[in-house]
Amino acid sequence: MSELLIILSPPRSFSSIVSTMIGEHPDLYGFPELHLFVGDTVQEVFDFEYKLAKRYSGPHGLLRTLAQIHDGFQTTGSIMRAVAWLNERKDWSTKKLMDYLLEKISPLMGLEKSPPTARKSLFIERVYSLYPQAYFLHLTRHPVSTRQSWQEFDETIKNRKLSNNKSVNIDKLLAWYQVHLNIIKFTNTLPVGQSMRIKGEDILSYPDIYLPQIAEWLGVRTDQEAIEAMKHPENSPYACVGPPPATMGNDWKFMQRPHLRSGRIKEPSLIAFFRQEKLQWLSPQFEEILLENELKLASEQEIITEITNLAGVLGYQ
C-alpha cells in the first residue's frame, strides 16, 4: 500500500468535501491544504503563502495539522506553538516535513489535496519526484460550475482584501482548462492504475456507488463501517473553521457546512453557456502584455472548441 494519496484538481472542484470524505476512511488520514509542494523548502512554502494570501506564518492547513498532531487539538495556543515549531524549521526540505507528518500518522495513508499543486506542472512533478509511489486522484467538476464558484470565491477574497495576488486576470474557464491540462499531461505518464479520475458530481451524488470503488482502488477496507465513516466528513478535525490565526485550511463554505448533503448535483450545459455568455477571456492589462510580447490569444472559436473537447473527455457537455 502506498503511504500517500494526492488529489489533483483546479480550485473550486469539490476538493474540500471530497478529500475530507475519503480522508475519513479508517485507514486514511485526510490532511487539510498543506500547500507543501509549491516549494523545495519550508522557506519557499512560506514565501508562496505570503504571495498567495498575505500570510506570514505559513499555510493555515499546515499549522492546524501540526497543532492537531502535536497537541491533539486545535486552539490558538496550539496553533501558536505550531507557528513557533515551523519557524524553527524553515530550512527543512518539504520532503522532510511531509515525511515527518506521514510518520506521525503512520500506519494510516495520508491524503493531501492542495489545489495550488495542480496550478503548475512543476509543482505536480515535484510531488512525483518526492513520492513516486503515491496514488493520484484527478478530481473534476463541470467547467461552468467551476467558473461560477471560482468567480464568487475571487469576489469574496477581493472584498476581504485577503489576496496579495496582483497578477492580471484571465477568465476562469481558461484557468480550468490549463489546470486540467497540467493534470492530464502528468497522469498520462503514469503506469496504469496509479492515477484515476473521478467527477466530483458523481461522488457527491452517488457516494454509496463511488466511495467503495475508491477504497477498492486504494487497497483499503471496503466494509460498510468504513464506507459509512467516509460519508461523515464533518467528523474530521479540519471540517470546521480553525482557531485564529489559522482559520482556513479548507474551503470556507465547506467548513461552515461540512455535512454531506443528499441529492443529485446538476450539471449545466456548456453549449448553452457559450450561447448565452459573451466572454472576455483576458483582462485589458493581460491583452496589453500579450501585445507587447507580440503574442495573441487563439480565436474565440478555437478556445471554445478546445474547452468543449476537454470537457467531453472529462464527461461534461
Binding site for another protein (CB under 8 A): 181, 184-185, 188-189, 192-193, 196-198, 202, 206, 209-210, 213-214, 216-217, 305-306, 309, 312-315, 317
Closer to another protein by Cβ: residue 189 or 224: 189
Helix or strand run (H / E) with residue 167: none
Distance of closest approach, residue 168 Cβ to another protein, in angstroms? 24
Distance of closest approach, residue 220 Cβ to another protein, in angstroms? 13
Closer to another protein by Cβ: residue 192 or 295: 192
Closer to another protein by Cβ: residue 101 or 183: 183
Cα-based angle 24, 28, 30 (whole degrees, multiple of 5): 60
Residue among 91, 93, 176 nearest 129 (CA): 93
Closer to another protein by Cβ: residue 42 or 175: 175
Helix or strand run (H / E) with residue 268: none
Residue pair 23/211 in contact by the 8 Å Cβ criterion:
no
Closer to another protein by Cβ: residue 170 or 310: 310
Distance of closest approach, residue 317 Cβ to another protein, in angstroms? 6
In angstroms, what CA-CA distances link 199 with 24, 145, 202, 315? 19, 12, 5, 8
Distance of closest approach, residue 279 Cβ to another protein, in angstroms? 20
Residue pair 52/45 in contact by the 8 Å Cβ criterion:
no
Distance of closest approach, residue 192 Cβ to another protein, in angstroms? 4
Sheet holding 4-8, edge to edge: 28-30, 109-112, 4-8, 135-140, 195-199
